[in-house]
């Protein structure tokens, strides 16, 4: 297949591009390298030393004998370049990762909120409009988030996108329906993925676009089979207060002797998936497209759920790190249960990488190996969800870890 990976230089996009190329697909990466620019803005760097995009692609050519094309395209700002890329490359499928993906970054201030909405919503809409204008039959695979659902389920399992409901007509007749699961985003970033869902639903209905939306949990891990092949192919690893995700942050904190920064009580339960499983899920989604005229196909892309304080305790046990409850900079439930349906990928052959099997390797191979590159100043999370949250004042009093 011919596949364009939009956002193919990022944390998920890069390993997904290599995986698809390795499978023999003709891959083009289209990316405006914005993630590298944001590193500069934040004065932060990936824990792993990432090569320039040119060096990455040259290394891949050398190691695999395969060519990945590259175009510097800003989906949100340069519609004509996007349309040209589609018309010239004529993809069978596109994978859309080209969005600002960090919740804390999206909540820093009005400027970052506006950037996140402008960038993400325009990128998605431009892509859909350009596919229609091109007249090509392209399957769109989009990286969404579990966060569109929120994380509270009143005991039920979160379905894969659609909720069964019954409505009663004025005649008293009961009708069964399925609706998009009610959204409950917890940040401006997560909200943009809710808006994306509606754009996809409209274009699937109006233009019969074939769209798959992957509602992904939090990634853990760094490298995949392909990014491990050569130092220049290494994936990025964020640990800073804006882009670092919880488990990867804990790993780095443990490696440098920084207390594990558990927000609030650590009672937040979240969904997780290893990066190797993510690339496999993207492959499975591409291989199982919806038909033209179908509603958007939604997969829950996660393999296990964990409570934040349990993760911290697990890492502390392996490494001897100290756990510290810190005032939560976010507005989120202090404690929640999370039950998620994830049958689709398992039924299609996904064999999950379990946290219990991979955690130690991650501690040694990534966090331990690159710990000299850690800038301690970049660790604290300084982005507050509301102006009422003065730095250092917990929105709710922390309780000791059990
Ligand atoms: N947390 C801590 N300590 C930290 C960092 C985070 O306790 O040092 C807590 C947060 O308060 C939150 C949970 O860990 O309760 C998860 O935070 P996160 O930064 O790991 O994840 P999140 O902001 O939700 O976003 C990440 C990715 C995003 C993706 C999302 C999937 O950045 O792109 O969409 O995970 S999900 O969370 O399932 O919505």
Q: Which residue has the tokens 């509606």?
A: 198
CA 129 – ligand 1 centroid, Å: 31
CA 190 – ligand 1 centroid, Å: 11
Q: Is the distance from CB of 36 to CB of 46 less than 8 angstroms? A: no
The strand pair at 269-274 and 304-307 is best described as antiparallel
Tell whether pTM > 0.85: yes
Tell me the C-alpha distance between 115 and 129, whole Å: 21
Residue whose CA is at the smallest distance from ligand 1 atom 17: 246
Within 169-274, strands assigned E span 174-180, 210-216, 218-220, 260-263, 269-274
Within 146-258, strands assigned E span 162-168, 174-180, 210-216, 218-220
| Residues recorded for the chain | 402
The minimum-distance atom of ligand 1 relative to the CA of 243 is 32
- Looking at residue 120, what is its pLDDT? 98
Strand order in the sheet with 218-220: 218-220, 269-274, 304-307
- The pick from 10, 217, 277, 308 for probing ligand 1's pocket by mutation, whose C-beta has the most ligand atoms within 8 angstroms, reads 308
Cα 323-148-275 angle, rounded to 5 deg: 60
Domain count of the fold of the chain: 1
CA 244 – ligand 1 centroid, Å: 8
| Cβ-based burial of 288 (10 A; exposed 0-12, middle 13-18, buried ≥19) | middle
Question: CATH number of the domain that 150 lies in?
Answer: 3.40.50.720
- Looking at residue 357, what is its pLDDT? 86
- Looking at residue 392, what is its pLDDT? 52
The strand pair at 323-326 and 260-263 is best described as parallel
Tell me if 11 is assigned to some domain. yes
- Which residues lie closer than 8 Å to 397 by C-beta, 6 or more apart? none
Closest CA to 237 of 370, 357, 364, 108: 370
Strand order in the sheet with 2-6: 68-71, 26-30, 2-6, 93-96, 139-145, 210-216, 297-301
- The pick from 244, 246, 278, 385 for probing ligand 1's pocket by mutation, whose C-beta has the most ligand atoms within 8 angstroms, reads 246
| Cβ-based burial of 95 (10 A; exposed 0-12, middle 13-18, buried ≥19) | buried
CA 309 – ligand 1 centroid, Å: 13
Tell me if 100 is assigned to some domain. yes
Q: Is the distance from CB of 284 to CB of 297 less than 8 angstroms? A: no
Backbone angles phi, psi at 303, to 5 degrees: -125, -20
- Looking at residue 361, what is its pLDDT? 83
Q: What is the pLDDT along the chain (402 residues), one digit of tens a residue?
A: 999 999 999 999 999 999 999 999 999 999 999 999 999 999 999 999 999 999 999 999 999 999 999 999 999 999 999 999 999 999 999 999 999 999 999 999 999 999 999 999 999 999 999 999 999 999 999 999 999 999 987 789 999 999 999 999 999 999 999 999 999 999 999 999 999 999 999 999 999 999 999 999 999 999 999 999 999 999 999 999 999 999 999 999 999 999 999 999 999 999 999 999 999 999 999 999 999 999 999 999 999 999 999 999 999 999 999 999 999 999 999 999 999 999 999 999 999 999 988 888 888 889 999 999 999 999 999 999 998 875 554 443 333 333
- Looking at residue 400, what is its pLDDT? 35
- Looking at residue 390, what is its pLDDT? 59
CA 245 – ligand 1 centroid, Å: 5
- The pick from 103, 253, 334, 336 for probing ligand 1's pocket by mutation, whose C-beta has the most ligand atoms within 8 angstroms, reads 103
Tell me if 390 is assigned to some domain. no
Q: Is the distance from CB of 122 to CB of 138 less than 8 angstroms? A: no
Residues enclosing ligand 1, CB less than 6 A?
Answer: 101-103, 145-147, 216-218, 245-246, 249, 261-263, 268, 270-271, 308, 328, 330, 332, 381
Residue whose CA is at the smallest distance from ligand 1 atom 33: 101
Tell me if 77 is assigned to some domain. yes
Tell me if 341 is assigned to some domain. yes
Structural domain boundaries, residue 354: 2-378
Q: Is the distance from CB of 203 to CB of 65 less than 8 angstroms? A: no
Tell me if 393 is assigned to some domain. no
Tell me if 235 is assigned to some domain. yes
Tell me if 17 is assigned to some domain. yes
The minimum-distance atom of ligand 1 relative to the CA of 102 is 32
Catalytic residue set = 145, 189, 193
Alpha-helix runs per DSSP H in 207-320: 246-256, 275-287, 308-319
The minimum-distance atom of ligand 1 relative to the CA of 147 is 39
CA 272 – ligand 1 centroid, Å: 10
């Amino acid at each position: 297949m011919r596949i364009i990976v939009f956002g193919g230089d990022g944390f998920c996009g890069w390993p997904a591009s290599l995986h698809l190329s390795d499978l023999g697909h003709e891959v083009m990466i289209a990316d405006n390298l914005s993630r590298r620019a944001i590193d500069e803005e934040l004065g932060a760097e990936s824990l792993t030393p990432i090569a320039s995009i040119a060096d990455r692609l040259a290394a891949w050519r050398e190691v695999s004998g395969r060519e990945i094309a590259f175009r510097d395209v800003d989906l949100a700002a340069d519609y004509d370049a996007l349309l040209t890329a589609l018309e010239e490359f004529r993809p069978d499928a596109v994978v859309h990762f080209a969005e600002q993906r960090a919740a804390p970054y999206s909540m820093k201030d009005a400027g970052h909120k506006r950037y996140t909405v402008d960038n993400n919503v325009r990128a998605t809409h431009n892509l859909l409009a350009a596919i229609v204008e091109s007249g090509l039959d392209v399957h769109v695979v989009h990286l969404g988030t579990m966060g569109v659902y929120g994380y509270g389920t009143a005991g039920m399992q979160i379905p894969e996108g659609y909720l069964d409901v019954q409505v009663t007509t004025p005649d008293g007749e009961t009708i069964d329906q399925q609706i998009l699961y009610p959204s409950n985003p917890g940040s401006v970033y997560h909200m943009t993925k809710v808006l994306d869902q509606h754009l996809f639903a409209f274009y699937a209905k109006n233009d019969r676009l074939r769209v798959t939306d992957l509602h992904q949990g939090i990634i853990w891990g760094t490298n995949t089979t392909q990014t491990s092949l050569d130092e220049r192919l290494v994936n990025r690893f964020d640990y800073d207060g804006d882009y670092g995700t919880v488990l990867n942050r804990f790993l780095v904190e443990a490696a440098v002797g920084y207390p594990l920064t558990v927000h609030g009580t650590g009672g937040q339960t979240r969904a997780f998936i290893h990066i190797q499983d993510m690339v496999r899920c993207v492959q499975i989604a591409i291989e199982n497209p919806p038909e033209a005229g179908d509603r958007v196909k939604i997969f829950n892309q996660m393999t296990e759920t964990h409570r934040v304080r349990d993760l911290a305790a697990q890492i502390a046990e392996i490494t001897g790190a100290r756990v510290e409850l810190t005032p939560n900079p976010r507005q989120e439930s202090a404690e929640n249960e999370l039950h998620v349906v994830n049958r689709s990928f398992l039924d299609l052959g996904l064999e999950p990488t379990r946290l219990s099997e991979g955690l130690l390797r991650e501690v040694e191979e990534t966090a331990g190996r690159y710990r000299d590159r850690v800038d301690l100043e970049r660790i604290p999370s300084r982005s507050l969800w509301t102006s009422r949250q003065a730095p250092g004042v917990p929105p709710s009093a922390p309780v000791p870890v059990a």
